[in-house]
Every structure is written in structure tokens, then in C-alpha cells.
Structure 1
Amino acid sequence: MAPKSDSAEAIVLNFVNEQNRPLNSQNVADSLQKFNLKKAGIQKALDNLADSGKISFKEYGKQKIYLARQDQFDIPNSEELNQMKEENAQVQQQLDEQKRAISEVEGEIKNLQSNLTLEQIRHKEAKLQKEVKEMEDKLVKLRKGVTLVRPEERKAIAEMYSEKLSQWRKRKRMFKDVWDAITENLPKDLKEFKEELGLEYDEDVGVSLQSFSGLLQHGKK
């Protein structure tokens, strides 16, 4: 009598046949947890199936190994195996072609997503046209000799520039006086000492007080 399809024996039998590989009771119990079957119940089902000849088993000491009965499976001959290999190769080729096609489509989607939408293009075009118009208006004023900076603004900027140069010159002189006093009798190499302290001269960062002073003297504001 065949076990009911929802019984523990039916579930275990179906699993053993599907796996068609050597299994012990722990393997089966771990794989059938979703059915809420206890290990003891699974062990009993395996033993009953083995006793009734529905599955095979071998004993290795205290360990029992269960296996689906092989006489229930159709074993292909060499010709059928060759045909299956050819079919498998064809399926694999189709799979590779599908993967390439999917990859190409994904690449196209990625390119499309990186492009601007029509609305975004129109918005950007309007913004650029506005910037061009502003620059053209400014260029027209410059060609006509229109002063874009008011005299009072120029004067304020020149005074601020002069004040910053004065402060720069003053701080540079103060540093030199302090540095000379500290290093007057210092036995260490001054360059190494400066590097240890993390100090940088104007020249180290590519600036020159004289060059900025020259701009003010020659009216290149």
C-alpha cells in the first residue's frame, strides 16, 4: 500500500527519490524542516521505507545510509547520452546568447538613463541662453566704455588692498625679527628646524609680497 501524499513517509520518499544520492537521517531532517517533521519521525519513516523495499539502505557501523532505488529510474544508453550532451550544448549556447542579449539591453538602459530627458535639455538650453545673453550685454557695455564698477567701489577696493598689503608687510617683518632672535645661536640646520616646526615662507607656497605690491604701484588693480 502506497503512503498518503501528505504523510511523513510520502514526504521522505519523495525527497529521497528527488535527491537520488546517499543520505543519512540528519541530512533528510535538515532539508525537511519546512514540513515540521521531527528527526525521530523522519528516522522511523526512513526505516519503514527501507523495510518495505521502497528505498535502499546500507549500514556502516551504527550509521545508516539511505538511497533511492535505482531500478525505478530509466538509465539512458550511450546513444541517448550523446543526444542529451548535444541538447545540453545547444541549450548552453542559447543561454550564452541570452546572457549577451541581456547584457546589451542593460548597457542600452544604462546609457539612456545617463542621458538627459527632453525636459532637462530644454531647461539647460534656456539657462545657457540666459547666461550667453548676460555675457553679451556685459560685452556691449565694455565695448562702449561703460564703467561697470563705480568709482567709490574702486576706491574702497584699492584701500582694502593697500591695507592688506600693509598688514602682510608688517607681519612678515615681525616674523623675521622673532625668527632671527630664536635662530641666532641655534646649532641646528635652519631649513631642517623650519620643517620640524611646519613653517612655510611665502616662496614655499608660490606667492610674493613684492609682486602684489607691484600691481598697486603700476595701477594694475
Structure 2
Amino acid sequence: MAPKSDSAEAIVLNFVNEQNRPLNSQNVADSLQKFNLKKAGIQKALDNLADNGKISFKEYGKQKIYLARQDQFDIPNSEELNQMKEENAQVQQQLDEQKRAISEVEGEIKNLQSNLTLEQIRHKEAKLQKEVKEMEDKLVKLREGVTLVRPEERKGIAEMYSEKLSQWRKRKRMFKDVWDAITENLPKDLKEFKEELGLEYDEDVGVSLQSFSGLLQHGKKRTRDQ
């Protein structure tokens, strides 16, 4: 149900007085959409209010600008204005202090959130104690001369390691034979040709067959010494 004209005028008058700034009918219509007032009804209410002297208006060509009557408002004198400025400054200072206090509290909360909870500390402590116990047990066995790796297991690992080294050595030799045959009469630079093919030697990736063979010999020597 659409509002009556007098209630529409009351709504429009209240809005114009609250805003206390220059307004046209479109400004008022946009702001009062929630009251389901049509623009024509708002225009009529503005004109009636202006004709009755309840609001002021000025015409700029075809545009009418409406404004609340200023004589209804208490205009503060210079002393009151100065007092208001002082009060405003005090309120602003209090606001700044509150902001600093909030910032400090937020910083404390952030620090607390970054710390471990008591439950997390206990869990981590239990885990570390378990790791320490396992390492201590292993150390005791080593001091007592307990063999952690059985001889047959060590032998099997050494044989497998030796087999892999043999395969490595065999493949290096095969590659060298093929490479020498291909590049024997090749006119281009061998280094450039190698890069074109995307080939990498062991040395290019930081490994050496000799160093791995040395590990096997060192293991055999250590076994004999024991």
C-alpha cells in the first residue's frame, strides 16, 4: 500500500533535514527507495514543502535544488566551536590510544599463536625422548661389540654392490667402444657433438667409478681387520 501524501512529505522533510545538504529530486528518490515512494510523488512532496516554507530551494535552469532551512538549526558561536574542536581533539587522542592498545594486544596474540601449546610440547618431548632412547640402545650395543649386521647379510650386500660395479664398468667400456667407432673420422668438435646428443659422462654429474670401487675395497679391508 502506497504511503499517503502527508506521510510522504513527512518522510521527505525528515530526510532533507537529516542530510542538510543540497539535494535534487533524484538524490532523494534514490535514497528513499525503501519507502516505495515514486519519483513523481517525491517531486510533488518537495514542491509542497518548498511552497509551505518548510524547506528552501533554488532553481538552476530546469534543475531545482532543495535544502533544509538553516534557521531551524542552532549555529554555534566561536567559543562553542573552539570547545567542540578541543573535545574533538581529545576524542581523537583517545581513539589513537585505543588503536595502539589494540595493536599491542593483537601483537601479543600473534606471538602466543606462534608458540607451541602445552600439549604440542609434551608430544614433541615424548617423541624426542623415544629417539634418544633408541640411539642410546644402539650405542650400548655398539660398545658391547654386538654385530648389528649379520655376516651373511654383509656378504650379500657386498656381492650385490660388486655386481653393480661390474655392470657399470662393462657399460662404460661398451659405450667407449661405440663412441670411438662413431667419432673416429668425425670432422666436427667432439665436445660440441656430445652436447648436441645430450650425453653426460660420470664426471659431468660428479660421480666416479673409481671412488665407488674404493668403497668396496675399504669394506673388504675392514672385514679382514675385524
How would you bin the TM-score normalised by the shorter chain? 0.7 to 0.9
Judge which range, 37-46 or 167-176, deviates more.
167-176
Whether the 8 Å contact between 1:3 and 1:10 is mirrored in structure 2 is: no
SS in 2 for 1:3: coil
CA deviations over 1:46-65 (Å, ceiling 9, x no partner): 22222222222211122221
TM-score (norm 2): 0.83
Per the alignment, do residues 84 and 158 of structure 1 end up closer, same or farther by CA in structure 2, a change over 3 Å counting?
same
Whether the 8 Å contact between 1:12 and 1:45 is mirrored in structure 2 is: yes
SS in 1 for 2:65: strand
Unaligned stretches of 5+ residues in structure 2:
222-226
Whether the 8 Å contact between 2:5 and 2:45 is mirrored in structure 1 is: no
Whether the 8 Å contact between 1:17 and 1:68 is mirrored in structure 2 is: yes
Judge which range, 151-160 or 88-97, deviates more.
151-160
Judge which range, 198-207 or 95-104, deviates more.
198-207
Counting matched residue pairs gives 221
Counterpart for residue 170 of structure 1: 170
Whether the 8 Å contact between 2:9 and 2:46 is mirrored in structure 1 is: yes
CA deviations over 1:126-150 (Å, ceiling 9, x no partner): 1111111111011111111111112
CA deviations over 1:137-192 (Å, ceiling 9, x no partner): 11111111111112232223222322332333334344444545555555555445
Whether the 8 Å contact between 2:24 and 2:65 is mirrored in structure 1 is: yes
Per the alignment, do residues 194 and 36 of structure 1 end up closer, same or farther by CA in structure 2, a change over 3 Å counting?
farther
CA deviations over 1:84-112 (Å, ceiling 9, x no partner): 11111111111111011111111111111
Per the alignment, do residues 79 and 135 of structure 1 end up closer, same or farther by CA in structure 2, a change over 3 Å counting?
same
Q: Distance in 2 between matches of 1:28 and 1:220?
A: 98
Give the Å deviation of 1:83: 1.6
Q: Distance in 1 between matches of 2:6 and 2:131?
A: 76
Per the alignment, do residues 142 and 208 of structure 1 end up closer, same or farther by CA in structure 2, a change over 3 Å counting?
same
Give the Å deviation of 1:195: 4.4
Whether the 8 Å contact between 1:16 and 1:67 is mirrored in structure 2 is: yes
Whether the 8 Å contact between 1:165 and 1:209 is mirrored in structure 2 is: yes
Across the aligned residues of Structure 1 and Structure 2, the Cα RMSD in angstroms comes to: 3.4
Judge which range, 121-130 or 40-49, deviates more.
40-49
Whether the 8 Å contact between 2:58 and 2:64 is mirrored in structure 1 is: yes
Q: Distance in 2 between matches of 1:20 and 1:32?
A: 15
Give the Å deviation of 1:41: 2.4
TM-score (norm 1): 0.84
Q: Distance in 2 between matches of 1:69 and 1:115?
A: 62
Percent sequence identity over matched residues?
A: 99
CA deviations over 1:179-215 (Å, ceiling 9, x no partner): 4555555555544554455444333332222211211
Judge which range, 27-36 or 179-188, deviates more.
179-188
Whether the 8 Å contact between 2:57 and 2:64 is mirrored in structure 1 is: yes
Judge which range, 29-38 or 139-148, deviates more.
29-38
Whether the 8 Å contact between 1:16 and 1:68 is mirrored in structure 2 is: yes
